[in-house]
Chain A
Amino acid sequence: MKTWIAILASSTALFAASCKKGDDAGNAKMTEGKGAAKAEPTTGPVSLSASGSTFQKAFQEVAMDSFMKSHPDIKLTYGGGGSGKGRQDLADMVVDFAGSDSKFKDEDKAKIKGGDILYFPVVLGAVTVSYNVDGADKLNLSPDTLAKIFQGDITKWNDPAIVADNKDAKLPADAIVVAHRADGSGTTDIFTKYLDAASGGAWKLKSGSTVDWPKNTQAGQGNGGVAQIVSSTKGAIGYVDLSDAKAAKLHYANIKNKNGKFIEPTSESTSAAGEGIDVKDDLTFSAVDAKGDAAYPIAGQSWIIVYAKQADPKKGAALKQYLTYLLGDAQKDLPGLDFAPLPKSLQDKAVAQLAKIQ
């Protein structure tokens, strides 16, 4: 539902942008008058605004809350609106940093107004395959079966392909009802990227924040909307992020990972996925279909994107402090929110990159 608000918000953002310019000018004058001689630019109140990924919004809210308690001079706000909106707002320099579940697309890079950007991974999260089937409290699914279910090739719960991975379960002959997102979504992007990568060519619908689902499927708004369809429809299966799946008390499947193990989505197994991925120099990566015995394969990630050159040194310093907190102490809050902390290796790389913010 947040995307609807985004339409409104993007128009108000224009307003905010014009107002903010005046504000910044005022702030700049204040620092000149007061502390031109002082070396540390962090004195005096400073406010940072951000928008973007709804995936990491719950984390941002908790982290900002406790950060602002210990740093009363720094005011932080994170408006959701979706990763696309976050990247757009950052490119237009309407916000100070953006949350995004995916990189800037190549064709959009020319529109980034503020110079070089840096990606800081801050959180990993699992996307569950939740289902509503009588007699199957536990379910094992392998990627090619999953692909065939979601594109409508497998239509019954007692299909031999499903039974082969679940010898002990009593699967009924019920029809499978596929539930997916109605709104463009990073969760859809993660899930379809996973199927594309892991199903060995079985997946034909490609990947993206929206894909052309089979026509007899059901669509819901947001993770909550898909969870609602799954919980209220016999025979339903859908992809839902871990915290919403838990909140709706759904059953979710163990998914066969690259090493052939069936893994339950948990905070630990998602962090384990972070260990088994190839991270590029700019700290971008895809956490799906990771290597490692303990890795849950349908894992997503979310970044904070910032400009390397900060025009306002006060803001830059505040941003660095907040990112340090996000990559450090705040990681401990993640399991409680049903997210997964970054593995140590990735955390170190991200902290090292902080030096590039100027």
Chain B
Amino acid sequence: MTGKPDLRGKGQLADKAFGGLAVGAAALVLLILALIAVTMTNRARPVLGHMGLDFFTSSTWSEHDNIFGALPFIWGTVYTAVIAVTLAVPVSLGVALFITQIAPVWLKRPLVYLIDLLAVVPSVVFGLWGVLMLAPHLNRSFLTAGIILAIMIVPIITSLAREVIETTAQADKEAAYALGATRWEMIMAAVIPHSKGGLVGAVMLGLGRAMGETIAAALVIGSSAQIALSPFKSGDSMPAVIANQWGEASDLQKSALIGLAVTLFVMTIVVNLIANRIVQRSMQKSRGA
């Protein structure tokens, strides 16, 4: 007792300090989020007062006539994100399954690095590549934007899918093989049912990322306020409109652009919340199993 310093008192103080710091940091994040929501909503008020609910349902966006309807941009945001997810999911799932189930051990690490590397390429680089390489063939269109966004969300979906798939119990897989299953049958019988929830969550997170992408979308989507089903038509998405029009916007137009931002904010938060919920639930299930 005599030779050893008494750490207990100090430890308690440090515990308290650290606890306070951690709570403070967590609260700060929430506070910032809340402040963003409040100020943005406040600044979007003029346009909501001017347009009413037409802001969400009108498909006319005219600076000249002070009519601001967000529908074409909501459509463009959702449509390009859906195209992106549709293109990215098969690739991501294939890569994740290859890495976890098929690839030899020496190839796994380099492959994971390579996919993760895609995630660190700045989005403007993808956007410019789209302008120079894709736009001459596909025009600036929903599809061009969808392809670029797909490339950008592949790493997110892949890495999440890989982690989820890796939690499949070895016993389940071996049981499938023991019953005479081929590798494909094993994947369908053991891996996919186990990981389903997590995979859906991964896809939703990719969707949220695709909806919020700004610069790449602004460069390749074509900037035309239209609701079209053809993926070869040009359109516009909410973040792209904000980026493109802010600099020269009049007062009411600025408010309308902030209104778009709030709409996007709410949409991405909802998508991400649902995604988190699904991922968490599937995690609990797999832990329980």
Check A209/B248 contact, CB under 8 A, given A215-B233, A228-B131.
yes
Check A232/B234 contact, CB under 8 A, given A183-B244, A219-B224.
no
State which of B6-14, B59-67, B111-119, B271-279 sits at the interface with chain A: B59-67
- Contact pattern, A 173-205, Cβ under 8 Å of B = 1, otherwise 0: 000000000111110010000000000000000
| Complex CA–CA separation, A6 to B245 (angstroms) | 10
Check A207/B247 contact, CB under 8 A, given A213-B224, A219-B234.
no
Q: A83: CB under 8 A from chain B? A: yes
Instruction: Report A208 CB to chain B, min CB distance, Å.
Output: 4
A-B contacts at CB below 8 angstroms, number: 101
Partner of A6, one of B140, B233, B247: B247
Check A212/B225 contact, CB under 8 A, given A3-B246, A207-B64.
yes
* Number of A interface residues in the complex (CB < 8 A): 39
Q: A221: CB under 8 A from chain B? A: yes
Check A108/B250 contact, CB under 8 A, given A218-B222, A219-B223, A221-B218.
yes
Instruction: Report A161 CB to chain B, min CB distance, Å.
Output: 25
Check A215/B244 contact, CB under 8 A, given A108-B250, A184-B249, A228-B131.
no
Measured between beta carbons, the chain A residues less than 8 angstroms from B242 are: 7
Measured between beta carbons, the chain B residues less than 8 angstroms from A209 are: 63, 245, 248-249
Q: B139: CB under 8 A from chain A? A: yes
Is there contact, CB below 8 Å, between A107 and B224?
no
Measured between beta carbons, the chain B residues less than 8 angstroms from A210 are: 63, 244-245, 248
Q: A292: CB under 8 A from chain B? A: no
Is there contact, CB below 8 Å, between A211 and B64?
yes
Is there contact, CB below 8 Å, between A221 and B244?
yes
Check A218/B136 contact, CB under 8 A, given A84-B250, A210-B63.
no
Instruction: Report A241 CB to chain B, min CB distance, Å.
Output: 15
Q: B219: CB under 8 A from chain A? A: yes
Instruction: Report B236 CB to chain A, min CB distance, Å.
Output: 9
Within 8 A of B (CB), among A1-27: 2-4, 6-7
Is there contact, CB below 8 Å, between B136 and A219?
no
| Complex CA–CA separation, A220 to B228 (angstroms) | 20
| Complex CA–CA separation, A82 to B254 (angstroms) | 14
Check A218/B247 contact, CB under 8 A, given A4-B215, A209-B63.
no
Nearest residue, chain B, Cβ from A4: B243
Within 8 A of A (CB), among B239-286: 242-252
Measured between beta carbons, the chain B residues less than 8 angstroms from A206 are: 62, 64-65
Is there contact, CB below 8 Å, between B228 and A215?
yes
Measured between beta carbons, the chain B residues less than 8 angstroms from A81 are: 247
Q: A105: CB under 8 A from chain B? A: yes
Is there contact, CB below 8 Å, between B247 and A82?
yes
Measured between beta carbons, the chain A residues less than 8 angstroms from B234 are: 215-219
Nearest residue, chain B, Cβ from A205: B64
Within 8 A of A (CB), among B195-237: 214-215, 218-219, 222-226, 228, 233-234
| Complex CA–CA separation, A224 to B85 (angstroms) | 31
| Complex CA–CA separation, A232 to B250 (angstroms) | 33
A-B contact pairs, 5 of them (CB 8 A): A6-B247, A81-B247, A182-B244, A183-B245, A206-B64
